């Protein structure tokens, strides 16, 4: 047994040593091919690096201090390190010819990546970015896709760590208005997987998850399609679900209105749905949508600059409000649609000036929305503050009608159709 372990250990050592030595030789060969290709301009872009390492055992190439520019010398990206994993035959063909007849696998792993996106300074920065393709992709371009979509399964995976806007970019004069909004925002981690399956005619986005400094989000998306080329590509149905929630208080400054800020104490949202597409002549025909929505927002407040407060308070006073009333204590929505019936329940908005509760049932006709029937609609507005009450009384005097009341509450009960709704207690 001891001899077996020694033999296995020696074989592993020989393999690793051979891999190391051959890796050095192969790196020199690939380096020569790449630099020759760069000099001849066979690649669709220009690039340079300070060091190249090759691991033949895993068909992995690692570039250090990578710099990529367009043919017009515009910066595209820079990275401290790029690991490239692909089939050896395809890697050799690419290094020699600057192109591939067919790509079946490619994995790119960037460390400390800067993306320029046509700018002279980095726009986006990422600590790590991983892209992986698995499939069988010929040299598809616009012309070939017009004639034929890929006939084999394709899969693209993406994940990123600590993706953010570059501070140098957002602190430029032309973008300074956005600096406060994006300066401390980043995607701490994100991933998704895109699947193209020509056998089932489905395009699927799954494993989608993004964790950010302000909120977390996850979801899935699926599209069924028909057609064999771009010209006759047509979606048949879509299904999706998503969930998101905030991480503590979220504060945002409006870049278009200097000094205006708003914050949200908490936010959560869950959505799912599906629908079918109709014909080109009548997209709504046979659509049969379904969805479920839950949204809960709490503690949304607004901060107004002092110099604008006086003017804004004067305007708000016309409806019995002040800037202190510009707050949403809670906004809760629960709604679902199935078999053409839209239901709204446990839905309310709570404001300092009043609160409103809504219950509704509608029979939807998607071919003729105006003919949709309102089975029940009850909107109750209560806890109305004196200033708003006074403004509503002025409106009643001006228009010559009274709001339907139940005690101190305003209650709108509606039936009929969307085209001709009938409000109980109001005649028009």
Q: Convert the pLDDT of each residue in 22-64 to its tens digit.
A: 345 455 666 666 666 666 666 778 888 898 888 776 678 899 9
Between 360 and 426, name the one with better pLDDT: 360
* Residues contacting residue 9 through CB under 8 Å, at least 6 positions apart: none
* 237-241, 264-268, 362-366, 374-378: least confident range: 362-366
pLDDT of amino acid 79? 96
The average pLDDT across 321-326 equals 81
* 46-50, 58-62, 197-201, 358-362: least confident range: 58-62
- Other beta carbons less than 10 A from residue 143's beta carbon: 7
What whole-number distance in Å separates Cα of residue 26 and Cα of residue 7? 28
Maximum mean pLDDT: which of 95-104, 206-215, 390-399: 206-215
pLDDT band for position 290 (50/70/90)? very high
* 121-130, 224-233, 293-302, 306-315: least confident range: 306-315
Strand 409-417 with 405-406, pairing:
antiparallel
User: Residue for token digits 């063909």?
Assistant: 93
Q: Convert the pLDDT of each residue in 127-152 to its tens digit.
A: 999 999 998 877 655 566 566 788 88
CB-based contact 263:239 (threshold 8 Å):
no
What whole-number distance in Å separates Cα of residue 113 and Cα of residue 130? 11
pLDDT band for position 14 (50/70/90)? very low
Between 207 and 137, name the one with better pLDDT: 207
Percentage above 90 pLDDT, the chain: 41
Q: Which of 427, 428, 412 shows the shortest CA–CA distance to 360?
A: 412
Q: Which residues pair with 331 in a beta bridge?
A: 297, 349
C-alpha distances (whole Å) from 247 to each of 42, 154, 212, 244, 353 are 48, 35, 8, 10, 28
The mean pLDDT value of the chain amounts to 82
pLDDT band for position 6 (50/70/90)? very low
pLDDT of amino acid 428? 58
User: Over 80: is that where the pLDDT of 286 sits?
Assistant: no
What whole-number distance in Å separates Cα of residue 251 and Cα of residue 331? 17
C-alpha distances (whole Å) from 85 to each of 55, 74, 89, 237 are 9, 26, 12, 36
* Residues contacting residue 48 through CB under 8 Å, at least 6 positions apart: 38, 66, 67
What whole-number distance in Å separates Cα of residue 284 and Cα of residue 251? 39
What is the three-state SS of the chain? CHHHHHHHHHHHHHHHHHHHHHHHHHHHHHHHHHHHHHHHCCCCCEEECCEEEEEHHHCEEEEEEEEEECCCCCEEEEEEEEEEEECHHHHHHHHHHCCCCEEEEEEEEEEEEEECCCCCCCCEEEEEEEEEEEEEEECCCHHHHHHCCCCCCEEEEEEEEEEEECHHHHCCHHHHHHHHHHCCCEEEEEEEEEEEECCCCEEEEEEEEEEECCEEEEEEEEEEEECCCHHHCEEEEEEEEEEEEECCCEEEECCCCCCCEEEEEEEEEEEEEEEECCCCCCCCCCCCCEEEEEEEEEEEEEECCHHHHHHHHHHHHHHCCCHHHCEEEEEEEEEEEECCEEEEEEEEEECCCCEEEEEEEEECCCCCHHHCEEEEEEEEEECCCHHHHHHHHHHHHHHCCCCCEECCEEEEEEEEECCCEEECCCCC
CB-based contact 84:60 (threshold 8 Å):
yes
């Amino acid at each position: 047994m001891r001899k077996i372990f020694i033999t296995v250990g020696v074989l592993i050592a020989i393999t690793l040593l051979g891999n190391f030595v051959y890796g050095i030789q192969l790196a020199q060969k690939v380096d020569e091919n790449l630099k020759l290709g760069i000099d001849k301009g066979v690649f669709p872009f220009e690039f340079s690096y300070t060091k190249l390492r090759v691991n033949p055992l895993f068909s992995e190439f690692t570039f250090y201090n990578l710099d990529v520019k367009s043919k017009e010398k515009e910066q595209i990206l820079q990275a401290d390190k790029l690991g490239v994993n692909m089939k050896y035959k395809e890697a050799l063909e690419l290094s020699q010819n600057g192109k591939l007849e067919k790509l079946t696998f490619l994995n790119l792993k960037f460390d400390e990546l800067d993306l320029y996106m046509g700018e002279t300074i980095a726009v986006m920065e990422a600590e790590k970015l991983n892209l992986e393709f698995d499939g069988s992709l010929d040299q598809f371009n616009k012309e070939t896709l017009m004639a034929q979509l890929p006939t084999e399964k394709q899969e693209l995976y993406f994940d990123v760590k600590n993706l953010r806007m570059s501070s140098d970019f957002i602190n430029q004069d032309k973008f300074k208005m956005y600096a406060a909004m994006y300066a401390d925002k980043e995607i701490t981690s994100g991933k998704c997987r895109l699947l193209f399956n020509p056998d089932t005619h489905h395009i699927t986005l799954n494993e989608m998850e993004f964790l950010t400094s302000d909120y977390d989000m996850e979801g899935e998306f699926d599209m069924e399609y028909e057609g064999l080329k771009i010209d006759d590509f047509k979606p048949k149905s879509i299904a999706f679900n998503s969930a998101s929630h905030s991480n503590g208080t979220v504060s945002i400054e409006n870049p278009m209105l200097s000094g205006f800020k708003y914050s949200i104490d908490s936010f959560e949202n869950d959505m799912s749905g599906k629908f079918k597409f109709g014909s080109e002549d009548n997209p709504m025909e046979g659509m049969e949508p379904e969805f479920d929505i839950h949204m809960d927002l709490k503690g949304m407040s607004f901060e107004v600059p002092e110099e604008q407060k006086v003017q804004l308070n004067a305007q708000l006073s016309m409806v019995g409000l002040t800037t202190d009333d510009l707050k949403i204590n809670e906004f809760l929505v629960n709604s679902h649609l199935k078999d053409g019936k839209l239901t709204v329940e446990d839905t309310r908005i709570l404001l300092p000036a009043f609160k409103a509760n809504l219950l509704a049932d509608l029979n939807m006709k998607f071919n003729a929305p105006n003919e949709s029937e309102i089975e029940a609609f009850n909107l109750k507005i209560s806890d109305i503050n004196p200033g708003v009450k006074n403004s509503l009384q002025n409106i009643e005097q001006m228009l010559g009608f009274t709001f339907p009341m139940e005690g101190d509450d305003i209650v709108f009960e509606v039936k009929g159709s969307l085209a001709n709704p009938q409000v109980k207690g109001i005649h028009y």
